[in-house]
C-alpha cells in the first residue's frame, strides 16, 4: 500500500469510530512509514498519540488488515527536527483478560503540548452492577435520569454521601451510559483534584486559554469529590467560571462530594449557591437489606470466579449485620474471604469468616458512645459540651440537646433511662419527649434532616 492510499482507507474508519472521533483523532494523524508488520504514524502531540493508540489502534489495525496489509503493530510519534520520537507502540491485538477501563474524552484536535484528558472510568462501575435499596434509591433514580441524556432538567446534579457509599460508582455509571447512548457526546469525568492539577499545570505552562477551551467545550462535565477545592482560591475561581459557562450553554454538570454544598467549609458562598441550584441528592448510610443485596451480588460474581467454592447459609447475613461501616469495607471483606477459602480449599463457613475477618469485625464492632454523640452534636451546633448536659432551656441549646438525644436513641442500644443519666441525670420521659420532638420536626424541617444525615455520617464513619 502506498502512503497516499491511507487517505482513502482512513475514511473507511468513519463507520467504525463515528464522524466526531474521526475528525478529532483520525484525520490529524499521518501515515509516515510502512515497514513490514509495523505502521508508523505522525501525531501532533505525545498525548494525542497516546490517546489514539489506546482508543483507536484496534480499529486502525483492522482497517489496514482488511485492505490486505500484514500490519500487526502501530507506532505513533511526534516528528522532531532530528530523530522521530516514539510515543507508544500499540499491541498487535486487543489485550486479553478483563475489560479495560474505558478512557475518557479529551476534546481537542491538534495541540502543541500535552492534552487535558479526563480520568479513567472503571468498567465495573455500571448501573447493572449498582444495587439499589432505600438508602440510595433517590440518588440512583436521579443518576439514571441524567444518564438518559434528554433535555437538561436539573443542573447540576449534586450527589453526596459518606465514604464508600457509591458516589463514584454512580458517576461512572452515568458516564458509561451516556457514552453508550450517544457516542458523539463529549463527556468529561475527572476528580476535583485532577481539575486543580490540570489548572495549575495550565497556569505554569501558560496554556490557560487551552484549558478554558477544553473545559468549556464539553457536553457533560462530571467532577468527583468537589470538596477538594475548598480553600483553594484560584481553582475555585476557575471552577466557578467553567461551571457558569457550561450552565449558560445548557450543558449538563454532575458533581459529587462527601457532604451537602452548604456543609463544605471554605467553599465560596457563590459556589455553594450555584451547586444548590439543581438537584441535590444524598446517598444515606447503608441499611441491612442493601448490604445483604450488595454481598449477594458480589458473592455471585466470586462463585463464578472460584467454581466449586461453597458458601454456607447465613454467612452473608452475618457479614451484613456485622460490617456496617461502608460498602468498600464490605467488599474488601468478601474478597478476602473468597481468596482465603480458595487458598485453603475449604467451604466458607461462619467460623472461617470469623477467623479470617477478625480484624475487620473488631473494627466494625467499635461501640459508639453517648459522649461521642454529645461531643459531635455540640461541635456541629457550636455550643459548649457542658451546656448540652446542663439545665439551660434556651432554644439554641435545647434543640441540639434533643438532636443528641435522638441520635443516642437511634445509634446506640442504650435504654431511655440510661440516656437520661448521661444527659445530666434527666428523667427518661424527658428523653422520650426530646426524641419525639425531633421525629415530629423531621417531617417538615429539611435543614434538620440535613443536619441529622451529616451527623449520622460523621458518627458512623
Ligand atoms: N449500591 C451499590 N451497589 C454495588 N456496589 C456498590 C454500591 N455502593 C458502593 N458500591 C461499591 O463500593 C465501592 C466504593 O464505592 P465508591 O468508590 O463509589 O464510593 P464513594 O462514595 O465514591 O467513596 P469515596 O467518598 O471514598 O470516594 C465500589 O467498589 C463500589 O462499586
Does residue 163 line the site of ligand 1, with CB under 6 A? yes
Task: Provide φ and ψ at 50, rounded to 5°.
Answer: -65, -40
- Of 15-29, 48-62, 137-151, 310-324, least confident by mean pLDDT is 15-29
- Of the ranges 73-77, 110-114, 150-154, which one carries the lowest mean pLDDT score? 110-114
CB distance 426 to ligand 1 below 6 Å:
no
Mean pLDDT across the stretch 205-213?
Answer: 90
Do residues 230 and 139 both lie within one domain? yes
Closest residue CA from atom 4 of ligand 1 = 130
Q: What is the CATH number of the domain that holds 356?
A: 1.10.8.60
Same domain, 156 and 232: yes
CA dihedral (253, 255, 261, 264) in degrees, to 10, reads -140
Q: Is residue 357 part of a domain?
A: yes
Residue 106 has pLDDT above 50, yes or no: no
- Say if ligand 1 is within 6 A of residue 166 CB: yes
State which H helix or E strand residue 325 sits in. Answer: none
Is 38 inside any structural domain? yes
- Could you tell me if residue 147 is inside a domain? yes
**172, 189 contact by CB (below 8 A):** yes
- Please state the rounded mean pLDDT for residues 360-364: 80
Alpha carbon of 346 to ligand 1 centroid (Å): 29
Q: Cell triple for residue 350? A: 461462619
Q: Confirm if 22 and 14 have CB atoms less than 8 A apart.
A: yes
Indicate whether 277 and 293 sit together in one domain: no
- Kindly state whether residue 19 falls inside one of the protein's structural domains: yes
Tell me whether residue 15 is annotated as binding: no
Residues 172 and 259 in one domain: yes
- Domain total of the chain: 4
Domain that holds residue 342: 288-364
Domain-terminating residue out of 35, 59, 90: 90
Q: Is 161 in the pocket of ligand 1 (CB under 6 A)?
A: yes
Give pLDDT, residue 126. Answer: 95
Q: Quick one: pLDDT at residue 366?
A: 67
The two counts, helices (H) then strands (E), for the chain are 20, 9
In testing the pocket of ligand 1, which one of 131, 158, 164 has its CB within 8 Å of the most ligand atoms?
Answer: 164
Residues 68-87, mean pLDDT to the nearest whole number:
66
Q: Which residues of 46-83 are buried (b: 16+ CB within 10 A; e: fewer)?
A: bbbbbbbbbbbbbbbbebbeeeebebbbbbbbbeeeee
- Cα–Cα dist 381/280, whole Å: 22
pLDDT band at 89 (very low <50, low <70, confident <90, very high): very low
End-of-domain residue from the set 228, 251, 283? 283
Res. 354: pLDDT tops 60: yes
For position 394, which CATH number holds? 1.10.1750.10
Give the separation between CA 373 and CA 370, rounded to whole angstroms. 5
What's the gap in Å between 133 CA and the centre of ligand 1?
14
Q: What separation in Å is there between the alpha carbon of 320 and the centre of ligand 1?
A: 16
For 251-267, write each residue's pLDDT tens digit: 999 999 999 999 898 89
Strands 73-78 and 85-90, bridge-based pairing:
antiparallel
C-alpha cell at 197: 492539577
Q: Residue 296's pLDDT band (boundaries 50, 70, 90)?
A: very high
Establish whether residue 104 lines the binding site of ligand 1, counting it when its CB lies within 6 angstroms of any ligand atom: no
Answer whether the bond into residue 344 is a cis peptide, omega within 30°.
no
Q: Is 162 annotated as a binding residue?
A: no
Q: Do 398 and 359 lie in a common domain?
A: no
Instruction: Tell me the whole-structure pTM to 2 decimals.
Output: 0.62
Give the C-alpha separation, 211 to 245, whole Å.
13
- What pLDDT score does 107 carry? 33
Q: What is the pLDDT of residue 80?
A: 64
C-alpha to C-alpha distance for 333 and 317, rounded to whole angstroms: 13
* pLDDT of 116 above 60: no
349 and 377 inside one domain: no
Question: The CATH number of the domain where 81 resides is what?
Answer: 3.30.300.180
143 shares a domain with 230: yes
Name the phi and psi angles at 414, rounded to 5. Answer: -70, 145
- Do 182 and 241 sit in the same domain of this protein? yes
Q: What is the mean pLDDT of the chain?
A: 85
Q: Does residue 145 share a domain with residue 222? A: yes
Q: Is 343 helix (H, G, I), strand (E, B) or coil?
A: helix
The CA distances from residue 183 to 52, 123, 143, 221, 336, in Å, are 16, 16, 18, 15, 37
Task: Please report the ipTM that was assigned to this predicted complex.
Answer: 0.98
User: What band does 3 get if pLDDT is binned at 50, 70 and 90?
Assistant: low
Whether the CB of 331 sits within 6 Å of ligand 1:
yes
Contact of 89 with 40, CB cutoff 8 Å: no
CB atoms within 10 A of CB 35: 10
Q: Which residue has the cell 473468597?
A: 338
User: Residue 184's CB: how many other CB atoms inside 10 A?
Assistant: 10
At which of 306, 337, 364 does a domain end? 364
Q: What pLDDT shows up at residue 117?
A: 67
In sequence order, the β-bridge partners of residue 257 are 160
Is the pLDDT reported for residue 14 higher than 90? Answer: no
Residue 117 falls inside a structural domain: no
Residue 7 assigned ligand-binding role: no
400 lines ligand 1 (CB under 6 A): no
Q: Is the peptide bond before 156 cis (omega within 30 degrees of 0)?
A: yes
> Is 41 part of any domain?
yes
**How confident is residue 86, by pLDDT bands cut at 50, 70 and 90?**
very low
Q: Is 166 annotated as a binding residue?
A: yes
Instruction: Establish whether residue 381 lines the binding site of ligand 1, counting it when its CB lies within 6 angstroms of any ligand atom.
Output: no
**Using 50, 70 and 90 to split pLDDT, how confident is the model at 150?**
confident
Q: What are 28-55's pLDDT values in tens digits?
A: 888 888 888 889 988 877 667 777 887 7
Does 103 map to a domain?
no
Q: Residue 76: in which H helix or E strand, if any?
A: strand 73-78
- Asked if 207 and 270 sit in the same domain, the reply is yes
The verdict on residue 110 lying in a domain is no
CA 227 to chain centre: 13
Cell numbers 451529616 correspond to: 454
71/207 same-domain check:
no
Ligand 1 lined by 285 (C-beta under 6 Å): no
**What's the 168 CA to ligand 1 centre distance in angstroms?**
6
158/262 same-domain check: yes
Amino acid at each position: 500500500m502506498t502512503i497516499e492510499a491511507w487517505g482513502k482507507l482512513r475514511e473507511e474508519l468513519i463507520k467504525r469510530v463515528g464522524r466526531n472521533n474521526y475528525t478529532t483523532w483520525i484525520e490529524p494523524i499521518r501515515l509516515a512509514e510502512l515497514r513490514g508488520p509495523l505502521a508508523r504514524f505522525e501525531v501532533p502531540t505525545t498525548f494525542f498519540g497516546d490517546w489514539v493508540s489506546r482508543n483507536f489502534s484496534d480499529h486502525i489495525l483492522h482497517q489496514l488488515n482488511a485492505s490486505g496489509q500484514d500490519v500487526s503493530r502501530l507506532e505513533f510519534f511526534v516528528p522532531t527536527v532530528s530523530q522521530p520520537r516514539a510515543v507508544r507502540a500499540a499491541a498487535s491485538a486487543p489485550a486479553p483478560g478483563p475489560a479495560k477501563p474505558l478512557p475518557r474524552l479529551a476534546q481537542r484536535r491538534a495541540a502543541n503540548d500535552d492534552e487535558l484528558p479526563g480520568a479513567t472510568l472503571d468498567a465495573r462501575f455500571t448501573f447493572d452492577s449498582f444495587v439499589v435499596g432505600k438508602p440510595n434509591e433517590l440518588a440512583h433514580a436521579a443518576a439514571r435520569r441524567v444518564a438518559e441524556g434528554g433535555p437538561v432538567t436539573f443542573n447540576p446534579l449534586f450527589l453526596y454521601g459518606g465514604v464508600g457509599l457509591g458516589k463514584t460508582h454512580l458517576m461512572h455509571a452515568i458516564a458509561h451510559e451516556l457514552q453508550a447512548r450517544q457516542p458523539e457526546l463529549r463527556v468529561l469525568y475527572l476528580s476535583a483534584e485532577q481539575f486543580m492539577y490540570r489548572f495549575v499545570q495550565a497556569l505554569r505552562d501558560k496554556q490557560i486559554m487551552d484549558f478554558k477551551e477544553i473545559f468549556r467545550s464539553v457536553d457533560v462535565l462530571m467532577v468527583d469529590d468537589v470538596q477538594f477545592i475548598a480553600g483553594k482560591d484560584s481553582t475555585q475561581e476557575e471552577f466557578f467560571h467553567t461551571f457558569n459557562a457550561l450552565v449558560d450553554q445548557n450543558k449538563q454538570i454532575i458533581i459529587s462530594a462527601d457532604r451537602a454544598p452548604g456543609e463544605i467549609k471554605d467553599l465560596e458562598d457563590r459556589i455553594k449557591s450555584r451547586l444548590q441550584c439543581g438537584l441535590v441528592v444524598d446517598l444515606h448510610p447503608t441499611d441491612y437489606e442493601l448490604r445483604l443485596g450488595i454481598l449477594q451480588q458480589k458473592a455471585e460474581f466470586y462463585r463464578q470466579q472460584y467454581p466449586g467454592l461453597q458458601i454456607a447459609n447465613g454467612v452473608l447475613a452475618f457479614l451484613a449485620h456485622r460490617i456496617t461501616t461502608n460498602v468498600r469495607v464490605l467488599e474488601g471483606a468478601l474478597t478476602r474471604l473468597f481468596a482465603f477459602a480458595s487458598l485453603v480449599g475449604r467451604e466458607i463457613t461462619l467460623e472461617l469468616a470469623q477467623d479470617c475477618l477478625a480484624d475487620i469485625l473488631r473494627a466494625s464492632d467499635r461501640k459508639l458512645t453517648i459522649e461521642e454523640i454529645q461531643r459531635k452534636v455540640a461541635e456541629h451546633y457550636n455550643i459548649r459540651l457542658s451546656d448540652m448536659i446542663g439545665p439551660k432551656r434556651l432554644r439554641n441549646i435545647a434543640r441540639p440537646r434533643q438532636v443528641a438525644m435522638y441520635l443516642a436513641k437511634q445509634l446506640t442500644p442504650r435504654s431511655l433511662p440510661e440516656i437520661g443519666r448521661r444527659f445530666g441525670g434527666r428523667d427518661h420521659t424527658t428523653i422520650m419527649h426530646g426524641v419525639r420532638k425531633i421525629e415530629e420536626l423531621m417531617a417538615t424541617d429539611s435543614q434538620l434532616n440535613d443536619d441529622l444525615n451529616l451527623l449520622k455520617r460523621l458518627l458512623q464513619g
